[in-house]
Structure 1
Amino acid sequence: MATVNQATSPTAGGYRAVFRVREFRAVFAAHLLSVLGIVVAEIALTVLVFRTTGSPLMSALTFALGFLPYALGGTLLAGIADRRPARRVLVGCDLVCAACAASMVLPGTPVAGLLALRCAMAFVAPLFQGTRNASLADILGPGDAFVLGRSLMRMVAQSAQLIGFGLGGLLLTVLAPRAAIALTAAGFLCSALLLRFGTRARPARAGAGADRTSPLAGLRAVLGDRRLRVLTLLFWLPPVFVIAPEALLVPYADGIGAGTAALGVMMCALPVGTIAGELWAGSALGPRTRSRLVAPLAAAGMLPLLVYAVRPGVVTVLAALLLAGLAHAYTLGLDQWYVDAVPDELRGRAMTLLSTGLMTLQGVGMALAGLAAEFLPVHGVVTGAAVLGTAVVLLLLAELRSANRREGGPKDETGPTAK
């Protein structure tokens, strides 16, 4: 059984109570450094590759390579998250990324080498994220403090998309691309030091020989349980549809005659709504209320996007995207359901696969939205995504209710009981 940090057992105090835990402060600071480092590296590397090759395709491929190895790395490496001590895994992943970034800085590194190093960083990313998320339950306990800690990590990732690209662009006005990438390497080294000296050594959750027979053993263990499978799909599938308006914002804005300033504001609307929704749910609501809101918020989350059916203007689109983002507050309650449903010895693999599927399927959703927009009007694609996404969520909630009743969980939609 995971060790619970007694300092976090009371749920009063919200986010401030979580920050009172010394180990969490170290993990949070390390997360902030690594996320900003990755965003800056993506921009700088894209610029570097374009300046070297003069090819828009190679420049775009640099961004794509941040996603492509993700599924492979998450599937093949998931078992390590439980078979090795968490601190050792986290520090090792940071050092790998620091070494890759440092190698990118070398003047003689060819473009193929730069892309291979980017792939290597993306390959270990899901292992790092899954191990870190699983270790939060050891540091904060598996209760409400864990939910708030996960929420803070998500908000940092969302904020990095808003702040990091601007910061990266600003850095590139005063630094060469390789110098900016050197800052990324330094950030990963600082993250490794924070995790090594700011967190406590804990033993691996599973035996060293557990699930070594197949890299897919963790995937089978997670998806083989009916209730855990439905909860995983509730994380994975809604973003496939919610990503559609973001993926198609540029052609939609062009179609309604919106300028670049309006496009920039619209691109910020969904992440801003998401951050605001999480802050509201984490600060103003208790665990029981958040649990009760999972089903209604998840079911209604994509309904604001139906306004796309009338091809609305900028203000209406902003409102719809903000509302869709606010509904993302349901993930706090869903986090609690998930950690309650996952056995301790499987937590690292489950969290690694969870983040792997989430990242991979968002990429799939963007590609599918773009493909559909080749044949259908953009506003029709977004409307269709909202309809299909809502239907999928309703089916998953019905399946979850059925699984809860069959496996002894509660008979309403307040979530599964702990195993």
Structure 2
Amino acid sequence: MSEKPAGYREIFAVREYRHLFAANLLSLIGDQLTAVALSFLVFQRSGSALLAALAFAGANLTWVVGGPLLAVLADRLPRRRVLVGCDLIRAALVLLMLVPGLPVPLLVGIAFTANLCRPPFQSARSSLLPDILAGDRYPVANGLDNIVAEVTQVAGFALGGLLVTTGSAQLVLAADAATFLVSAALIGTGLRRCAAANQTAPEPSGSWWAETTAGVRVVFADRALRSYLLLFWLSCLVYGTEGVVAPLAEEYGGGARTGGLLLAMMPAGVAIGGVLLTRFCPPDTRRRLMLPLAVLTGAVLLPIAAHPPLPAVLVLLFISGVAGAFSIPLNALFGRAVPAAYRARAFGVAMSGLCAVQGLAMLGAGAAAERVRPTLVVGGAALLATLAVLTVVTTAVGVFAPARLPRPEPAAA
């Protein structure tokens, strides 16, 4: 008999998760508000589109630059201390940006430094979830976190633009600092004290670089972990679509509104797919659907190469997003398969690779769109993603066999 999926009431019954969820929600809202406010502030003061884009994209750049290196902190130090420390540092740096008359390059530099706290914060948080959520609660919580991240991204950008228009960028920055302070208070009062994770590692702690490379080795030396990561990363080649949204909208005779619709379809699909997978699919069904959905993520976009009508493109992008929710059960498999002492570093590697793949896919799509029509570029990215995912699935077939997939631990009493 198939196990029933866990409910949201069950995961929120865990006090530590309630505090982590609320703290993460506040941090995400603050990050989105600041990204909008800072980009407007930088552009108003400098008139430079490049500096404004750099201020806006700093959060993703920090994962590529410092993800695996900074994630070491979440294994070397107690994770509760890392979470609280990162929030307090970010609050202080955001408040520093409120000082009148700061040069624009210094503003961008402070924002980039504040964003460097994201890799250790998110790695520490991701590493804690398998320890505090037993059974099917962990993948369901992953699904909920994914939904919240997608919704917060859309709502945060819209709210940030409204607040900057009606108020001021400085007011938004002050609100962001407040979210980090409240987040630190929630984590400090809601999580138990714990020892550093690497105290349980089978090898003594060495230099910072040695600990970083140890995390990379743990991931890539294990066939299952390596396959999980490659499946996730390569399926994200479809996000090259975001790099050609403007010319794609122009191809259909639209402007910014059409581009906004095109951008919104995949995140909306991921949010809906996350609900369907985690709330309405039993764990066994979820694991069986994982690989077909991974293939469908890219395959469903192939018809866009033939320049179908715009409504059809929007539907196909939405379906691709729904299929992309396969990453939720995959993330749960990855999190439980990594040894606890290396979990934060493993998540740092995963996020750094994801940001790099998405960034390169967008750059490649943009370069290709200089020569061929954007719909053909989207179809080409979809074909590349589909072939790459099929290669991972066929070469690591034993890893993804139902008998080999780890089953969730029994739910805690």
- Name the aligned partner's letter for residue 243 of structure 1: Y
Q: 1:395: which partner in 2?
A: 391
Question: Alpha carbons of 1:205 and 1:22: their partners in 2 closer, same or farther (altered >3 Å)?
Answer: same
SS of the residue corresponding to residue 302 of structure 1 reads helix
Query: Shift of residue 336 of structure 1?
Result: 3.0
Query: Deviation digits for residues 235-276 of structure 1, max 9, x if unmatched?
Result: 22211x221222212211111112443332222111111100
Q: Structure 1 residues 207, 18: closer, same or farther in 2, change over 3 A?
A: same
Post-superposition offset of 1:417: 6.8
Bigger Cα displacement from structure 2, 387-396 vs 328-337: 328-337
Aligned pair partner of 1:300 in 280, 287, 296: 296
After the TM superposition, which residues 13-412 of structure 1 pair with which residues of structure 2 at under 5 Å, given as runs? 13-141=6-134, 143-207=135-199, 209-212=204-207, 214=210, 215-239=212-236, 241-402=237-398, 404=399, 411-412=401-402
Secondary structure class of the residue paired with 1:65: helix
The question of whether the paired residues in 2 share the 8 Å contact of 1:290 and 1:332 is answered with no
Q: Which amino acid is the alignment partner of residue 229 of structure 2?
A: T
Q: CA deviation at 1:71?
A: 1.9
Measure how far apart 1:12 and its partner are.
Answer: 5.0
Structure 1's 12 and 318: CA in aligned 2 closer, same or farther, altered over 3 A?
closer
Moved more, 355-364 or 388-397: 355-364
User: Does the 8 A contact of 1:78 with 1:348 survive in 2?
Assistant: yes
CA distance in 2, matches of 1:269, 1:170: 22
Which amino acid letter does the alignment assign opposite residue 231 of structure 1? Y
Q: 3-state DSSP class of the match of 1:219?
A: helix
How far apart are 1:415 and its partner, in Å?
2.6
Gap runs ≥5 in structure 2: none
What is the CA distance between 1:11 and its match in structure 2? 5.8
State the partner residue of 2:405.
415
Aligned-partner residue type, residue 395 of structure 2: E
Change (3 A) 1:11 1:122: farther
Q: What displacement does 1:182 show?
A: 1.0
CA distance in 1: counterparts of 2:106 and 2:258, whole angstroms: 38
CA contact (8 A) 1:14 1:148 kept: yes
Task: Tell me, yes or no, if the aligned pair for 2:71 and 2:348 is still in contact at 8 Å.
Answer: yes
Name the CA distance, whole Å, in 2 between partners of 1:377 and 1:308: 11
- Letter paired with 2:37: A
CA distance in 1, matches of 2:401, 2:38: 52
1:145-165 per-residue CA deviation (whole Å, 9 max, x = no partner) reads: 111112211111111221011
AA at the equivalent of 2:147: M
CA contact (8 A) 1:15 1:282 kept: no
> For the Cα contact (< 8 Å) 2:299–2:382, is it kept in 1?
yes
- CA deviations on 1:76-113 (whole Å, 9 max, x unpaired) are 12222212111001111111111111111111322121
Q: Distance in 2 between matches of 1:198 and 1:377?
A: 53
Distance across 2 between alignment mates of 1:224 and 1:122: 30
CA distance in 2, matches of 1:12, 1:230: 25
Deviation, 1:296, is 0.8
* Distance in 2, Cα, partners of 1:413 & 1:292: 11
Unaligned runs of 5+ in 1: 1-9, 405-409
Cα 1:361–1:124 change in 2 (3 A) is farther
In the aligned structure 1, how far is the partner of 2:36 from the partner of 2:46?
16
Contact 1:340 1:417 in 2 (8 A): no
Contact kept? 1:278, 1:329, Cα under 8 Å: yes
Change (3 A) 1:211 1:222: farther
C-alpha separation in 1, matches of 2:401 and 2:241: 35
Change (3 A) 1:331 1:414: farther
Q: Distance in 2 between matches of 1:372 and 1:414?
A: 40
SS in 1 for 2:102: coil
Distance (Å, rounded) in 2 between the aligned partners of 1:277 and 1:325: 7
1-side partners of 2:213 and 2:5: how far apart? 40
Structure-1 separation of matches of 2:101 and 2:256: 38
Cα shift readout 1:293-342 (whole Å, capped 9, x = no counterpart): 11111112211211212112221011101110110221232123213321
- CA displacement 1:336-357 (0-9 Å, x = unmatched): 3213321222212112222222
